[in-house]
């Protein structure tokens, strides 16, 4: 359904084309629109808009048009009627304003000028637009609502003009999870919602709106803002802000796109634990867990998904024609492009599962082991990064314990940043150069700062 930017685009196109022209008569080809037959010799004085409604100001009438799913206008001279053309407004210029609607969902309401159209339906219950509503007004309307904020933004009586596409974009820009209840949204967050709505919708209007599937603004013209969308229809793509994977959920029956790292469902801290191969990351994570903190190993998450997630398994098999881990390991060690493809397939599942684990618990801080944090550009997902930096002796001990050969170690390290590079990028560094007890003391000292 066209939203405010698309309807405004239509309004501006119509205004520049038919303003001050006179409707001599109207041909109606679908009985639903028979009310329009009474429009004769009416000059089009202006065309206004409220939310998603177009308002044609005529000399003796106000005509309200709602395009619904696929209503559209075009102006032609001597038009050849299409089977989805339902109304011809014949103009004194010799042109015809054609209303076309494939689904026939569009609605017209005709009122005489002595009626205040803003005090009767359908405009009576339409809320203020993002361009006119004050943050305090929006806050007042939603602060006692238990419904998700996404559903509230789609309620045209609360705020008008926002539909599914722009609700996703606005909430992403405002860093607000679409499932958060209206009563949890603060006044400052209402300010952010309105500011981002104005910015996004203004940019969309400048680009002729968003064309997804069938929207045409006027005379078959498509919009161009779809190329600027950040999350809507981007499921499985990486977030432009943090590199996490865009997820699709359903809110109030509507497909909803979000980044769970940027749009957190509640306030929590996310700490990444990284380091080079055989640095002791896993040992450090176990120590942190033993100290009472919630920990997540992305390697463990991957291994569990590899066994239990049929959707991920099918994607892997479709590309590699195998689910044998030893064969896959050999492929990714020797073929960089195959390594990248495996990550492209699996990482979105891994991070979605990580956030699922977070959603199902209620901790205030999570420590996540992410081996290739910097190499794969995931650092912005996290609030802080701790690097585990091993001594050569510790590396040799870990390699011996895991039966890692020098050849395998060298292959793995070819695709990783050095210990020095990782430590330089990290917020905190834990030196793993002695005993487990020593490592535990160093971890405790770092946690005093992080937590």
Domain range list for the chain: 4-119, 135-229, 268-293+364-451, 302-362
**pLDDT of res. 412:** 67
DSSP 8-state assignment for residue 67? -
Please give the helix or strand (H or E) that residue 347 lies within, else none: helix 336-360
Is residue 254 annotated as part of the catalytic site, yes or no? yes
Burial class (CB in 10 A: 0-12, 13-18, 19+), 299: middle
**pLDDT of res. 207:** 87
Helix/strand/coil for 63: strand
Q: How far is CA 66 from CA 62, 90, 431, in A?
A: 13, 20, 65
Nearest-CA neighbor of 379 among 271, 305, 247? 271
Query: Which class does domain 135-229 fall in?
Result: mainly alpha
Is residue 379 annotated as part of the catalytic site, yes or no? no
* Integer-rounded Cα radius of gyration of the chain: 29
DSSP 8-state assignment for residue 98? E
Residues 22-80: pLDDT tens digits? 999 999 999 999 999 999 999 999 999 999 999 999 999 999 999 998 999 999 999 99
Which residues make beta-bridge pairs with 270?
366
Superfamily of domain 4-119: MutM-like, N-terminal (3.20.190.10)
Is residue 2 annotated as part of the catalytic site, yes or no? yes
Nearest-CA neighbor of 152 among 169, 167, 136? 167
Identical fold at 4-119 and 268-293+364-451? Answer: no
Annotated active-site residue in 21, 104, 254, 411: 254
How far is Cα 164 from Cα 364, in angstroms, rounded to an integer? 31
Q: What is the pLDDT along the chain (451 residues), one digit of tens a residue?
A: 789 999 999 999 999 999 999 999 999 999 999 999 999 999 999 999 999 999 999 999 999 999 998 999 999 999 999 999 999 999 999 999 999 999 999 999 999 999 999 999 999 999 999 999 999 999 999 999 999 999 999 999 999 999 999 999 999 999 999 999 999 999 999 999 999 999 999 999 998 888 666 555 566 677 668 889 999 999 999 999 999 999 999 999 999 999 999 999 999 999 999 999 889 999 999 999 999 999 999 999 999 999 999 999 999 999 999 999 999 988 887 888 999 999 999 999 999 999 999 999 999 999 999 999 999 999 999 999 999 999 988 888 887 787 777 777 777 667 789 999 999 999 999 999 999 999 999 999 999 999 9
80-83 LR contacts (CB < 8 Å, sep 24+): 81/29
pLDDT mean across residues, the chain: 94
Is residue 371 annotated as part of the catalytic site, yes or no? no
Six-digit token string for 255:
């497909």
Nearest-CA neighbor of 151 among 188, 178, 173? 178
Annotated active-site residue in 3, 129, 216, 260: 3
Domain 268-293+364-451 grouped into CATH 2.60.120.200 = no
Residues 82-105: pLDDT tens digits? 999 999 999 999 999 999 999 999
Annotated active-site residue in 49, 52, 180, 247: 52
**pLDDT of res. 219:** 63
Six-digit token string for 224:
């161009």
**pLDDT of res. 224:** 64
Percent of the chain predicted with pLDDT > 90 = 86
């Amino acid at each position: 359904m066209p939203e405010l930017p698309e309807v405004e685009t239509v309004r501006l196109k119509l205004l520049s084309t038919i303003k001050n022209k006179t409707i001599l008569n109207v041909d109606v080809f679908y009985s639903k629109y028979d009310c329009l037959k009474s429009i004769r010799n009416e000059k089009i004085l202006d065309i206004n808009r409220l939310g998603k409604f177009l308002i044609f100001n005529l000399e003796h009438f106000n005509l309200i048009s709602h395009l619904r799913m696929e209503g559209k206008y075009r102006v032609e001279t001597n038009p050849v009627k299409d089977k989805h053309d339902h109304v011809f407004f014949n103009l004194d210029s010799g042109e015809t304003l054609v209303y076309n609607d494939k689904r026939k969902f569009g609605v017209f309401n005709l009122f005489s000028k002595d009626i205040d159209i803003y005090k009767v339906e359908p405009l009576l219950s339409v809320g203020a637009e993002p361009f006119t509503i004050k943050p305090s007004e929006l806050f007042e309307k939603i602060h006692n609502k238990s419904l998700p904020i996404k559903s509230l933004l789609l309620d045209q009586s609360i705020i008008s003009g926002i539909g599914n596409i722009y609700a996703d974009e606005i909430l992403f820009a405002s860093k607000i999870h679409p499932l958060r209840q209206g009563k949890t949204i603060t006044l400052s967050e209402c300010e952010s919602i309105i500011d981002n709505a104005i910015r996004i919708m203004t940019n969309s209007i400048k680009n002729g709106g968003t064309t997804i599937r069938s929207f045409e603004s006027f005379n078959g013209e498509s919009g161009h803002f779809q190329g600027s969308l950040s999350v809507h229809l981007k499921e499985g793509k990486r977030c432009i802000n943090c590199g996490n994977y865009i997820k699709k959920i359903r809110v109030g029956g509507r497909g909803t796109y979000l980044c769970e790292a940027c749009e957190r469902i509640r306030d929590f801290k996310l700490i990444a634990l990284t380091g080079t191969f055989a640095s002791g990351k896993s040992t450090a994570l176990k120590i942190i867990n033993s100290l009472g903190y919630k920990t997540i190993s992305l390697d463990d998450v991957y291994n569990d998904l590899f066994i239990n997630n049929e959707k991920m398994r099918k994607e892997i098999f479709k590309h590699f024609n195998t689910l044998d881990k030893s064969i896959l390991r050999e492929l990714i060690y020797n073929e960089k492009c195959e390594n990248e493809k495996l990550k492209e397939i699996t990482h979105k599942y891994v991070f979605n599962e990580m956030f699922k684990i977070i959603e199902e618990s209620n901790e205030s801080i999570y420590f996540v082991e992410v081996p290739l944090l910097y190499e794969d550009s995931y650092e912005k997902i996290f609030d802080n990064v701790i690097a585990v930096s091993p001594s050569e002796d510790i590396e040799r001990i870990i390699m011996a314990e895991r039966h890692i050969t020098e050849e395998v170690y060298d292959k793995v390290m070819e695709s990783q940043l050095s210990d020095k590079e990782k430590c330089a990028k990290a917020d905190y560094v834990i030196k793993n150069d002695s005993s487990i007890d020593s490592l535990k003391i160093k971890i405790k000292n770092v946690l005093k700062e992080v937590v």
